């Protein structure tokens, strides 16, 4: 069972020393429209199971609540979870890079990240490491008794491993949303299916990729368990050594959704005045998708659009005012 989980292959388009922008992906999923109501995701902890994180990055250092290394990197020292690949830092920035007028900003800029390094610098890991990281996320409690509400995994392998599936089901049963990249083995055809695990499990929220023009990315896996799509082409985010990079892959789409769930938990639990179950949070997420016209096996419920509910409310109020006058 060794070294069968890998980073989903991704492309590095460019690396730069500095930038100051709200990345296009963050804008087109309309994340800023929910920042006020959601307090930017404050109080929500997202476990990122990946290659670690650049803990000193100016956009991330205030976001990291804790971390752990499950790999053999750093002589297996469980306390060192620095990112020696780049992927984990990029994913973490899309989820929660701080809104600090420099660098980039994430979908949920006040959420916290629990960085679980379960893949090596080469981007590979044992299934045991992934399983242990998922279990760690479920059991973890923060200094103020915080719990993980979302797990983000931009990784996959060709094998359906029952132990990994069980760990994911356990997490979902503990009311943790498990967001996973669908995979990058797509062949540009919506009618041929490609499966990567854990992305093909029903219990996860499986995220495919579109480009910034909302066209399906040709590499995005298609299968019957895709839940929604998000930006995954030319995504700008944080990169090690305090840098920024533009990356492409379904790996980049999944963190948009993980961050979105942090915002939606805060918005919805304020409205309902209670804690929501994983299924209820999923329903809130899917309410905020827009069909793009592809087959369900390619786009699931559609493209993540965080302001759609508010737009519909405005529309209904406007039309009812027109009726009464």
Mean pLDDT, the chain, whole residue set: 92
What is the arithmetic mean of pLDDT over 167-183? 96
Enter the pTM of the model.
Answer: 0.94
What is the end-to-end Cα distance of the chain in Å, rounded?
Answer: 69
Number of other residues whose CB lies within 10 A of the CB of residue 102: 13
- Annotate 270-300 with b (16+ C-beta within 10 A) or e (fewer): eeeeeebebebbbebbeebbeeeebeebbbb
What is the arithmetic mean of pLDDT over 297-320? 88
- Residues carrying an active site annotation: 50, 87, 251
What is the arithmetic mean of pLDDT over 85-112? 96
Distance CA 134, CA 128 (A): 10
Number of H helices, E strands in the chain: 9, 15
The answer, yes or no, to whether residue 301 has pLDDT greater than 80, is: yes
From the number of C-beta atoms within 10 Å of its C-beta (0-12, 13-18, 19+), residue 203 rates as middle
Hunting for tokens 């533009």 — which residue is that? 246
The answer, yes or no, to whether residue 221 has pLDDT greater than 90, is: no
Q: Please give the pLDDT value at position 323.
A: 62
What sections of 82-193 are H helices per DSSP?
87-96, 127-139, 162-173
Name the 3-class secondary structure at 266.
helix
Tokens of 91: 């994913």
Q: What pLDDT digit, counting tens, does each position of 9-47 carry?
A: 678 888 988 888 899 999 999 999 999 999 999 999 999
The full set of domains in the chain, from first to last, is 5-324 (3.40.50.200)
Higher-confidence residue of 8 and 208: namely 208
Q: For 135-139, 169-173, 197-201, 313-317, which range has the lowest pLDDT when averaged over its residues?
A: 313-317
């Amino acid at each position: 069972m060794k070294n069968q989980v890998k980073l989903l292959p991704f492309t590095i388009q460019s690396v730069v020393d500095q930038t100051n922008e709200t990345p296009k992906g963050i804008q087109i999923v309309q994340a800023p429209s929910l920042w006020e109501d959601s307090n930017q995701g404050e109080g929500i902890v997202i476990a990122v199971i990946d290659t670690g994180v650049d803990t000193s990055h100016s956009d991330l250092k205030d976001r990291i609540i804790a971390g752990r290394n499950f790999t053999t990197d750093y002589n297996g020292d469980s306390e060192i979870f620095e990112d020696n690949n780049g992927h984990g830092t990029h994913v973490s920035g899309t989820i929660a890079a701080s809104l600090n007028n420099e660098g980039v900003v994430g979908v949920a800029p006040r959420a916290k990240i629990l960085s679980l390094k379960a893949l090596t610098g080469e981007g590979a890991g044992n299934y045991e490491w992934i399983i242990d990281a998922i279990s760690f996320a479920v059991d973890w409690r923060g200094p103020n008794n915080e719990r993980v509400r979302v797990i983000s995994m931009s990784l996959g392998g060709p094998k359906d491993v029952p132990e990994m599936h069980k760990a994911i089901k356990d997490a979902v049963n503990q009311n943790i949303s498990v967001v996973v990249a669908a995979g990058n083995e797509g062949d540009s055809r919506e009618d041929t299916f490609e499966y990567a695990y854990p992305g093909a499990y029903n219990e996860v929220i499986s995220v495919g990729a579109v480009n910034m023009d909302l066209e399906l990315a040709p590499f995005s896996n298609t299968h019957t368990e895709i839940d929604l799509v998000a930006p995954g082409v030319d995504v700008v985010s944080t990169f090690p050594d305090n840098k920024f990079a533009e990356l492409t892959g379904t790996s980049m789409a999944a963190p948009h959704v993980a961050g979105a769930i942090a915002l939606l938990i805060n918005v919805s639990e304020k409205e309902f005045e209670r804690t929501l179950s994983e299924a209820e949070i999923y329903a809130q997420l899917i309410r905020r998708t827009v069909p793009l016209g592809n087959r369900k096996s390619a786009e699931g419920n559609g493209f993540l659009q965080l302001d759609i509910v508010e737009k519909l409310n405005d529309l209904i109020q406007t039309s009812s005012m027109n009726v009464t006058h």
